[in-house]
Structure 1
Amino acid sequence: MTVDPAAYFRAKLQCEIDVMEVAESEPGSLLVVDTRRRSSWDHGHIPDAVHIPTAQIPAKAPDLIPAGSQVVVYSWGPGCNGSTFAALAFAELGYSVKEMIGGIEYWIRNGLPVETAAGTIQSKPDALVTAHTA
């Protein structure tokens, strides 16, 4: 079977979103879901994100995520495919879903805010991964 590279990448881009596009999106236009385990969520997460670990999506999403929402899922980072499994779970439930590439690792490396038990923190942007300045 021959795959058309242009078609593959066109389809892939329909299912992905980067951290800066999420950060700069119109408030309320995206419903961001952290799919990591509780201890990771407690360590720090994107402000206003909803926490649903991947394994719990089929049971909890229908009660927590309104139908018709544009869902964006994330996990740790590029070395983790947890958000891919989460995106599949949401897609199988009929949600419009995108996977945030880079995960919370690149959210933090871009100098974006992270909510913790101690409050919201923001790191200096890593110049190696972003031109964004805080």
Structure 2
Amino acid sequence: MTTIPPAPPDQAAAHFAALLAYETDCWDVHHALTTGTADFVLLDVRSPELYAAGHVPGATNLPHGRIVERNLAGYPPETVFVVYCAGPHCNGADKAALRLARLGRPVKKMIGGVTGWLDEGFALKTA
């Protein structure tokens, strides 16, 4: 484990602070949604079929390939988006986050996606 020594604490702090600027987790999203403190729009970026089969309650379906300015026109420019896809084996959330960032929109990825949500013991909603 220490064959490669850990980074100096100041570098580790910068690294982990940066991660938290890009990512959030299922528990934090669930807490915000269930306490009414969500200050973000949760986007399920999978296909409409997968969304209908089971999605995070409160999520809006916008497949990553459809993230264009026209489809975001109803959201003020400062709206924070949190995106998720199927799980760690899927890069749809990364593609969505990249599209949103390139459109100048603030974005974070919910790590774990649907798989993480279920692993935490949270229920999905069907359409």
**TM-score with structure 2 setting the length:** 0.80
CA distance in 2, matches of 1:33, 1:60: 16
Which one scores higher on RCO, CA 8 angstroms, separation ≥ 6? 2
Q: Which residue of 2 aligns with 1:47?
A: 57
Structure with a larger share of its residues in helix: 2
Matches for 1:37-116 after TM superposition, within 5 Å: 37-116=47-126
Length, aligned pairs only: 114
Q: Quick one: which amino acid aligns to residue 74 of structure 1?
A: Y
Q: Pick the structure with greater CA Rg.
A: 2
The answer as to 2:22 corresponding to 1:19 is no
**TM-score with structure 1 setting the length:** 0.76
CA distance in 1, matches of 2:70, 2:118: 27
Q: Quick one: which amino acid aligns to residue 94 of structure 2?
A: T
Structure with a larger share of its residues in strand: 1
Q: Which residue of 2 aligns with 1:125?
A: none
CA distance in 1, matches of 2:51, 2:74: 17
Q: Identity over the aligned pairs, expressed in percent?
A: 36
Residue deviations 1:45-92 (CA, integer Å, cap 9, x gap): 111211100000015442343321121000000111110110111111
Identify unmatched segments of 5+ residues in structure 2: 1-7
1:8 shift after superposition: 3.9
Over the aligned positions, Cα root-mean-square deviation in angstroms equals 1.9
Q: Quick one: which amino acid aligns to residue 62 of structure 2?
A: I
